[in-house]
């Protein structure tokens, strides 16, 4: 089935499919390990529906800048921020409806950049990574957790085959990118990398990569 033949699918349905998919417990466990490390001025690129909001330690955060070009995803996040229990986040969170390839922030103005499950979707991840480097202060860090190209040849072949149709269903997500390689090629040193396989029911997502990176 060609999902792009249904004009409203990508606009109205895919954001909810992505939101529900990314709400799975497997992702929450990974978010829990990475997101609470953010501190200072934080820019989250590919903020989506705000699924990381509950994991930020707001006592460590001066300002949270949420960047995502998809208004549908941001509107789900806005509803979350409007809820009472997230009032601390609401006070310090600014939503920017722009792509990560052109971040409207000054050079060296951010202490922590956060990217979770978005390098798979950002159309030009190399440009977004260059922008992240530009806005990070000296000593700043990029925290990430991502899915990507599997270490197993059979799974890799299937990821290549399924990539097109998967992208239509899942809001432009690519199965076969290599997040570690992309981050390193953009001039970062990857630290504390944890690489695991996704559980069996999520096998198309391949391997999971989590850690932090610093500009070299």
State the residues that interact with ligand SAM by CB under 6 A: 18, 22, 45-46, 48, 51-52, 67-70, 73, 99-101, 116-118, 121-123, 128, 173
Identify which of 134, 129, 138 has the alpha carbon closest to the alpha carbon of residue 106: 134
Least Å distance, CB 67 to ligand SAM, is 6
Tokens matching residue 163: 């990539």
Under a CB-based contact definition with an 8 Å cutoff, are residues 124 and 93 in contact?
no
Q: Which is nearer to ligand SAM, 20 or 139 (CB)?
A: 20
Q: How far is the CB of 79 from ligand SAM (least distance, A)?
A: 15
Nearest-angstrom CA–CA distance, 211 and 143: 6
Six-digit token string for 47: 């903020």
- Least distance from ligand SAM to the Cβ atom of residue 27, Å: 7
Please report how close the Cβ of residue 97 comes to ligand SAM at its closest, in angstroms.
Answer: 10
Considering beta carbons, is residue 125 or 140 the nearer one to ligand SAM?
125
Report the residue number whose CB is nearest to ligand SAM: 48
* Residues 155, 176 contacting (CB under 8 angstroms): no
Spatial CB neighbours of 163, under 8 Å, sequence gap ≥ 6: 174, 175, 176
Give the residue with the Cβ less far from ligand SAM, 75 or 139.
75
Please identify, using beta-carbon distances, which residue of 123 and 187 lies nearer to ligand SAM: 123
Structure tokens at 27: 């992702």
Specify the residue, 73 or 143, whose C-beta has the smaller distance to ligand SAM: 73
Minimum Å distance from CB 153 to ligand SAM? 25
CA distance 70 to 58: 25
Q: Rounded distance, CA 135 to CA 140, Å?
A: 9
């Amino acid at each position: 089935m060609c999902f792009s033949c249904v004009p409203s699918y990508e606009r109205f349905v895919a954001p909810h499919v992505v939101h529900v998919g990314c709400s799975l417990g497997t992702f929450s466990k990974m978010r829990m390990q990475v997101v609470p490390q953010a501190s200072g001025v934080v820019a989250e690129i590919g903020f989506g529906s705000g699924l990381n909001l509950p994991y930020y330690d707001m006592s460590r955060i001066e300002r949270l800048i949420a960047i995502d070009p998809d208004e549908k995803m941001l509107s789900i996040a806005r509803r979350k921020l409007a809820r009472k229990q997230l009032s601390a986040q609401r006070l310090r969170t600014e939503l920017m409806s722009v792509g990560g390839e052109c971040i409207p922030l000054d050079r060296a103005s951010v202490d922590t950049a956060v990217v979770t499950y978005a390098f798979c979707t950002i159309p030009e991840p190399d440009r977004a990574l260059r922008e992240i480097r530009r806005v990070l202060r000296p000593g700043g860090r990029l925290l990430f957790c991502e899915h990507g190209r599997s270490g197993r040849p059979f799974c890799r072949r299937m990821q290549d085959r399924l990539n097109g149709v998967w992208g239509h269903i899942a809001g432009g997500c690519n199965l076969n990118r290599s997040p570690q390689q992309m981050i390193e090629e953009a001039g970062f040193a990857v630290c504390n990398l944890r690489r695991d396989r996704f559980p069996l029911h999520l096998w198309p997502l391949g391997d999971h990569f989590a850690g932090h990176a610093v500009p070299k």
